[in-house]
Amino acid sequence: MMMKSAKVLLLFWSLFLPAPGSSATSADAAIAGQLFAAGNSEYQKGDYASAERYFSRILESGAESGAVYYNLGNAYFKQRKLGQAIYCWEKARQKMPGDRDTRENLELAGLLMVDRIETPADPMPLRVLTALPSLFTIEQESRLVIVLFVLANILLSVYLLARNSRRSFGALAASLVIGFLFVVFGCSLAWKIYQRDSQKSGIVIEQKVDVRSGPGPQNIAVFTIHEGIRVRVHRSAGGWYQISLPNGWNGWLPGNFVRIL
């Protein structure tokens, strides 16, 4: 498993460069950059616990980037903290959609997980809608949808105003294609926003957890799950989360055993 270093450092700085005239933000970014470089250095020396502390301090300061989550996930993985590693890589994937290293690490982690839950394949339209979000963040996809909408309308205007029949036909065809892409990515964006706002999920970070019938240790254990598994989080009560699995099983577990994505 390779650790991103120079390339990720550039990405890190591009995400945390302050706005012109903001001296406080510039100082914070400089400190975060020093912590990031120190974390990389500790990782390369094999001191993964120390690297974890440096990367965690960046996140605790409120500065976030896919690069930090990715490297922190690597540090957790080297310490055999599979659940924490998967959580960090999932956060990295949210911020760096399509990143190959993050995807490969998650695939490797999936092979090491204890729990394997078989679920029926989703219908093709739903698979398309769930695959597209992995390519862009919400902000990126929002900009793309706006650009497609504007282009489709410009080309439609060219079609309506053009006197040359060949040119007008080309403009109409291009407008229809771009309009179709607008609908596809618009649906993808709507689905992603819906998931973000109404479908909270988390990663189990405890090595082994008994899921109980109610919020509290006095309730009976209905099944057991292990670190790294992704769960749907429905609500909380008394420091416990009600969760469900893709196969429909549901119950309650302590909130400190799950990290919300």
Tokens standing for 26? Answer: 């510039």
Query: Cα(first)–Cα(last) distance of the chain, in Å?
Result: 23
Q: What pLDDT score does 222 carry?
A: 94
Work out the average pLDDT over 132-136: 63
User: What number of other Cβ atoms are within 10 A of residue 252's Cβ?
Assistant: 23
Confidence of residue 22 (pLDDT cuts 50, 70, 90): very low
**Is this prediction's pTM over 0.85?**
no
Residue (of 261, 260, 254) closest to 209 by Cα position = 254
Average pLDDT in the 231-248 region? 91
| Contact yes or no for 219/213 (Cβ under 8 A) | yes
How much is the pLDDT for 23?
Answer: 46
- The DSSP code sequence of 177-230 is HHHHHHHHHHHHHHHHHHHHHH--EEEE-SSEEEEESSSSTTSPEEEEEETT-E
Instruction: Locate 110 and state its tokens.
Output: 């999936």
pLDDT at 64 over 70: yes
Share of the chain above pLDDT 90, in %: 44
Q: State residue 83's pLDDT score.
A: 95
Binned at pLDDT 50, 70 and 90, residue 69 comes out as very high
Residue 234 has pLDDT above 80, yes or no: yes
**Tens digit of each residue's pLDDT (9 = 90 or more) over 158-209:** 888 877 777 778 888 888 899 888 888 888 888 777 766 667 889 999 999 9
Percentage of residues in the chain having pLDDT higher than 70: 80
> Residue ranges of the domains in the chain?
6-112, 124-198, 201-260
- Name the CATH topology of 6-112: 1.25.40
Per CATH, is 201-260 categorized as 2.30.30.40?
A: yes
